[in-house]
Amino acid sequence: MQQAETLSARPARRVRWMNRDRAIALLMIAPSALAIAVFVYGFIGWTAYISMTDWRGLAISTSFVGFDNYLTIFSTGRFQTNIRNLIVFTLFFLASCLVIGLLLAVLVDARIRFEGFFRSVYIFPMALSFIVTGVVWQWLFAPGNWPNDPTGINLLFKQSGLGFLQAAWTTDTNVVPGWRIEGLRTRIGIPMAMIPVVVAAVWQMSGFVMAMYLAGLRGIPDEIKEAARVDGATEWQVFRHITLPMLQPITLSAVIILGHISLKIFDLIITMTGGAPGNNTEVPGLYMYEITFKANKFAEGAAVAMVMLVVVALLVVPYLIYNRRTEVER
């Protein structure tokens, strides 16, 4: 490929030169494009196909059953519980990360000393695996024989005189408020055992949100805030009417990223609770694994996987298209 000769005098030859490079460029990206085409889109299609068969265990032949599997899983109490748990987890996780992330960013931005140190501490959990997080927080939230012989943070509360804060945490079987609705086979409300899981996830990810908001806060020109102050705004009003709206793009990015992580969550759950107690902390990501690789119900597992994919796509695809359109404008 080495052609370091000087420019030829004939323009026609140079145009052909460019085309050759173009061809090489296409050739270079082709393997990746192909890999993605197969390993992402091809496999998705295949899973979709499996989800519409009745493949179970070692069945040699399978037949097409349309959307039966979907109807089946949506009618089970277990999957409905999964969905309820996922909704609870996602909402609490997202809200907490955004609020705490923004709060940390504002605090760190307030010209504190040793800013670099605090920033590093808040972000470091991002370097850990969900498995590590799960192991440690599992023990933090293990309640022990509370209130008399507790362990974990219950013990910490007791030892520091805050014993009234003890709770069942990951062993809590309550769902608050726990209403039964006709037609649904799960209780509506917040499974209390999910709270510790949310805390662990927020501990891991809020530093990331902080980093994003911090970059955003520092990107707001001082003069705009000064103009607002001259216009009559108090510091709070500057924050609410100027800073916060200008951070919207970041909030959107954070929601998309946290959202898709939250919808796929598996590692953390399997380590911290395994889905227990009952199925109060089980989510589709975990359920798919159990039903596919433990129970060998491949078709139903595929259906669960496809549901997960559709939900994630609903979140991400509009954002990708919007992002692309605004980039074209630039």
Please give the residues from 255 up to 314 whose contact with other proteins meets the rule CB under 8 A. 256-257, 260, 263-264, 266-267, 270-271, 274, 284-285, 288-289, 292-293, 298, 301-302, 304-306, 308-309, 312
**Segment contacting other proteins (CB under 8 A): 75-83, 140-148, 170-178, 184-192?**
140-148
Site for other proteins in 215-234 (CB under 8 A): 215, 221-224, 226-234
How far is residue 142's CA from residue 153's CA, in Å, rounded to a whole number?
Answer: 8
Site for other proteins in 166-185 (CB under 8 A): none
| Smaller CB separation from other proteins, 35 or 176 | 35
Type of residue numbered 92: F
φ/ψ of residue 232, rounded to 5: 120, 10
Cβ of residue 201: shortest distance to other proteins, in angstroms? 13
| Smaller CB separation from other proteins, 188 or 309 | 309
Cα end-to-end distance, the chain, whole Å: 35
How far is residue 198's CA from residue 260's CA, in Å, rounded to a whole number?
Answer: 15
Type of residue numbered 122: Y
| Smaller CB separation from other proteins, 103 or 184 | 103
DSSP 135-155: HHHHHHS--EETTTEE-HHHH
| Smaller CB separation from other proteins, 96 or 280 | 96
Cβ of residue 179: shortest distance to other proteins, in angstroms? 30
How far is residue 251's CA from residue 102's CA, in Å, rounded to a whole number?
Answer: 9
Site for other proteins in 9-28 (CB under 8 A): 17-18, 20-22, 24-26, 28
Q: Where does 40-129 have alpha helices with state H?
A: 43-51, 68-75, 77-109, 115-123
φ/ψ of residue 281, rounded to 5: -120, 15
Class of residue 58 by CB neighbours under 10 A (exposed 0-12, middle 13-18, buried 19+): exposed
**Residue 127 binding other proteins, by CB under 8 A:** yes
| Smaller CB separation from other proteins, 57 or 221 | 221
Q: Which of 93, 122, 146, 169 binds other proteins (CB under 8 A)?
A: 122
Q: Which of 13, 139, 162, 314 binds other proteins (CB under 8 A)?
A: 139
Site for other proteins in 47-106 (CB under 8 A): 47, 50, 100, 103-104
Using DSSP bridges, classify how beta strands 144-145 and 187-191 pair: parallel, antiparallel or unpaired: unpaired
